[in-house]
Amino acid sequence: MLPTPPRAVIWRLGPSIARADIPALCDRLRLLLRTGPRPRTTVLCDVRALDAPDLTTVEALLRLQLTARRLGHGIRLCHVPEGLGLLLTATGLTEVLPAALPPGTPRPPPLPGPP
């Protein structure tokens, strides 16, 4: 018997995220994942509306990913603005907060580990 493939829901964020918004965002995500589709769900987090992503934005996305993982789900970012992509690359968080690939796009090979 094959495992059930993950399901996806789209969740839009933006235009800005303040540090004070983070707990409420996590609560909304928790509610969505507890009452929404089952079993495993991938939340496609549409971030194209983010005006000026900064480290608070990255912190919020990390907290959302942690919330999703604690419930057995995960987040993938989609429509990532260039500024956010650069921040994630500079902080080394592209694997923790992966971007969703357009359908039909082959996955890049994993980076080699330390020697």
* pLDDT band, very low/low/confident/very high, at 76 (cuts 50, 70, 90): very high
With b meaning 16 or more CB within 10 Å and e meaning fewer, what string describes 27-54?
eebeebbeeeeeeebbbbbbbeebeebe
* pLDDT band, very low/low/confident/very high, at 9 (cuts 50, 70, 90): confident
Q: Please tell me the predicted confidence (pLDDT) of residue 2.
A: 46
**What dihedral angle (degrees, nearest 10) is formed by the CA atoms of 105, 108, 109, 115?**
-170
Q: Please tell me the predicted confidence (pLDDT) of residue 13.
A: 94
Overall pTM > 0.85: no
Report pLDDT digits (tens) over 29-50.
999 888 865 678 889 999 999 9
pLDDT at 92 over 80: yes
The residues near 70 (Cβ < 8 Å, ≥ 6 apart) are none
